[in-house]
Amino acid sequence: MSVGIEIDDGLARVTLRRGEAGNAIGLDMARGLLDAARACATASVRAVLLTGEGKSFCVGGDLGEFSRLSGEPLERHLMAVTDALHGALRTFAAGDAPVVAAVRGAVAGAGIGLAASADVTLAADDASFTTAYTRIGYSPDAGVSWFLPRLVGPKRALDLLLTNRRVAAAEAEAIGLVSRVVAADRLAAEAVRTAEALRDGPTAAFGATRRLVAAGQTADLGTHLDREARAIAAAAASATGRAGVAAFLDKRTPDFTRATPST
């Protein structure tokens, strides 16, 4: 299988398993990502860790696979790839479980979309980022043209998309493309530590927060303040919210994994 998934104690580990091909995304991998995302869309999954085998996280689309087709068959094939890949992105975004991506080596094309879509993106200090689409006469997919302007601003996003210049890890952190950079030999451990900490957190509150941040990109202030009011009221009344406040008042660490939904 080109995408592996292991779910243990609330943490789902999703791994791109085409390391020998730079984890290039073809139809099989896109469908594997969609299957993995659907498997994560359960109450038992409280956090997701997305990684790639081999030296590079993901170099983008599988151009070898695409080059074997032309004309309408190629268009249909690319639509099938993007339908599955975009379905995976939508499914990950719709859930409560936060997503942590750990990236290293080359990150290009759709790999940038996968990295940018995560809630927390950790980059090894050897990582580099290139949009690469227009270099081969393609336009973006995998949400790249949606995420990049929101993360780095539209002017910088167009610079990256039109010039295809290489961005090193330090610059990626400075412009907001990744959350933080860690030493390559510490990436795996730091990613697990981060994902486990989120797994043990207030999953429903994380989900509400994810949706508020996404909605706030396009909502007017008044509408968004109303959404915030409804969300915090619901959170406060929930078992999770009550457990968190009780722990704070008792000066102890809350155990959100034991809180049960309100009836």
Q: CA 55: distance to chain centroid?
A: 19
* Residue 261 to residue 174: CA distance in whole angstroms: 39
Q: How far apart are CA 128 and CA 62, in angstroms?
A: 19
For 61, what's the count of Cα atoms within 13 Å in the CB-facing half-sphere?
A: 25
pLDDT for the residue numbered 217: 87
Q: What is the CATH code for 203-258?
A: 1.10.12.10
**Which DSSP state fits 165?**
-
pLDDT per residue, tens digit, the chain (263 aa), is 899 999 999 999 999 999 999 999 999 999 999 999 999 999 899 999 999 999 999 999 999 999 999 999 999 999 999 999 999 999 999 999 999 999 999 999 999 999 999 999 999 999 999 999 999 999 999 999 999 999 999 999 999 999 999 999 999 999 999 999 999 999 999 999 999 999 999 999 999 999 999 999 889 999 999 999 999 999 999 999 999 999 999 999 988 987 654 43
Query: What is the third-level CATH fold of 3-199?
Result: 2-enoyl-CoA Hydratase; Chain A, domain 1 (3.90.226)
User: Do 203-258 and 3-199 have the same topology in CATH?
Assistant: no
Predicted local distance difference test score (pLDDT) of residue 262: 41
Q: pTM here?
A: 0.93
What residues contact residue 149 under an 8 Å CB cut-off, 6+ apart? 157
Position 260 scores a pLDDT of 52
Domain spans of the chain, in order of start: 3-199, 203-258
CA distance 129 to 132: 9
Nearby residues of 92 by Cβ (< 8 Å), 6 or more positions away: 37, 40, 48, 99, 117
Would you say 101 and 50 are in contact if contact means Cβ atoms under 8 Å apart?
A: yes
pLDDT (0 to 100) of residue 257: 85
Structure tokens at 155: 């002017």
Which residues in 122-135 are b (16+ Cβ under 10 Å) and which e?
A: bbbbbbbbbbbbee
